[in-house]
Amino acid sequence: MRIVLTRREGLESPDGVNIFIIALGQALTDLNHDVQLVVGSLESSAEYRRHLGPRVNLPIVALSPKPLKGLASAAAWLRGKRIIDRFNPDLVLHSETVPLPLRGIIIQIVHDLQPRSGRLAPVWRSIRRLSTKRCDYIVATTTELRDELVRDLGISPKRLTVIPKCVDLQMYNRTGLSFRERAILHSGTQPYKDPGATIRAFGALNDPSVRLYVAGNITVPTQEAVDALPSQLRGQVTLLGDVDGQVLRKLHGQVRVASFPTRYAIPVASATVMEAVASGTPIIGSHQVSRDILVEGCNGRVVDTNPDAMAVALRALLKDDALWSRLSTGACRMIRRFDAVGIARQYVELATQAEGKPPAV
């Protein structure tokens, strides 16, 4: 089968959509499909390889060497349509709204509903509605997102299929407790990742024998949160900055706990959470992490993001070996549902079902 994976934005950043696209593209290639990626931009092939560390040399068509907006983006995607049509795909998997009439079975994958506020929110909603009308299937990556799509777009639940994001399990090491450092990992310093909440919880934990790693660009609020810690704890915090994907994957399998006090408008399938699950690492997460990937008492703890509540949950996972082992085992069982090869087969099955059917309206 000839399959195109698209993304309207760039490919080199290690965000959840790109991690998903690379994992899925590799799995489809492993299953002997002919895969092509068409993305809005690719500023640096070296940064793409450093951040995402693909194990398969996927063919990539970047419509621009830099991010495009407005009319320039629209013109680029008209060129992208011609490129995709020449490839003559059997299946096109959109990871963002690309409302173009294309050949083959079209599946629109919805990862989130942002942006839904601000001056351009009505425009984006109109684009999403138009795009969903031109596809054969709409896939939501979490059950919460599926339910919100029904409300937001006013479409029938029957038009929606839930298929989660995926990770390439070959790229993660699941080590036992004896190989783990008494450490916590927080991945991501964007405001919605709320690194300050993890740092404040680390302060409330007040255990100088524990180390905290924070991955992501070192922002002013992140540095200020570290500076506010007592002196005996500041030296136990390592701000890693913009780390390689391989280094981050190794850390996920090295620490004892991963912290995700994430703030989403609608719970989504965070790729960084899935990376922790793939590494067998128990999670402390907010109520905004999807219940599809963080299940209380199965692979982690769902907690309020105030420092004291997080510190209690962190302390338990750092000190209770039996609890850690039970949640780590739960994570290793859970991640089988997100194996990229299995997810790839689900998309191929959808395409097979849609063959010969007119597009849904």
For the chain, the structural domain boundaries read 2-166+339-354, 170-337
What pLDDT does residue 359 have?
43
Q: How confident is the model at residue 135 (pLDDT cuts 50, 70, 90)?
A: confident
Give the lowest-confidence range in 35-39, 56-60, 135-139: 135-139
What number is the average pLDDT over the span 45-53? 91
Give the lowest-confidence range in 9-18, 187-196, 235-244, 320-329: 9-18
More confident residue, 111 or 99: 111
Report the CATH fold assignment for 2-166+339-354: Rossmann fold (3.40.50)
Check residue 62 and give left, alpha or beta (phi > 0: left; psi -120 to 50: alpha).
beta
SS3 93: strand
Considering the chain, what is the average pLDDT of its residues?
Answer: 91
What pLDDT does residue 361 have?
35
CATH architecture of the domain 170-337 equals 3-Layer(aba) Sandwich (3.40)
What pLDDT does residue 120 have?
62
Give the lowest-confidence range in 125-134, 218-227, 277-286, 315-324: 125-134
**Using one digit for the tens of pLDDT, what is the confidence trace for 180-239?**
999 999 999 999 999 999 999 999 999 999 999 999 999 999 999 999 999 999 999 999
More confident residue, 286 or 70: 286
Cα dist from 282 to 13, 243, 262, 323, 349, whole Å:
25, 22, 16, 9, 32
Does 360 score more than 50 pLDDT?
no
Cα dist from 247 to 103, 186, 188, 233, 243, whole Å:
40, 14, 14, 24, 6
Angle (CA) 89-92-95 rounded to 5° is 155
Does 30 score more than 50 pLDDT?
yes
* Tally of CA atoms within 13 A in the half-sphere of 118 that contains its CB: 7
Query: Could you write out the DSSP letters of every residue in 39-56?
Result: EEE-S-HHHHHHHH--SS
What pLDDT does residue 124 have?
66
Question: In terms of DSSP H, where are the helices of 117-264?
Answer: 121-133, 143-153, 195-205, 220-227, 231-234, 245-252
More confident residue, 323 or 151: 323
Between CA 8 and CA 10 the distance in angstroms is 7
φ, ψ for residue 40, nearest 5 deg:
-65, -40
Does 132 score more than 90 pLDDT?
no
* Tally of CA atoms within 13 A in the half-sphere of 107 that contains its CB: 28
Q: How confident is the model at residue 355 (pLDDT cuts 50, 70, 90)?
A: low
* Tally of CA atoms within 13 A in the half-sphere of 193 that contains its CB: 24
What pLDDT does residue 33 have?
98
2-166+339-354 and 170-337 have identical folds: yes
**Using one digit for the tens of pLDDT, what is the confidence trace for 303-323?**
999 999 999 999 999 999 999
Contact 238, 216 (CB under 8 A): no
Edge to edge, the sheet with strand 160-162 lists 60-62, 34-41, 2-10, 91-94, 105-110, 137-140, 160-162
Give the lowest-confidence range in 171-185, 235-249, 257-271: 257-271
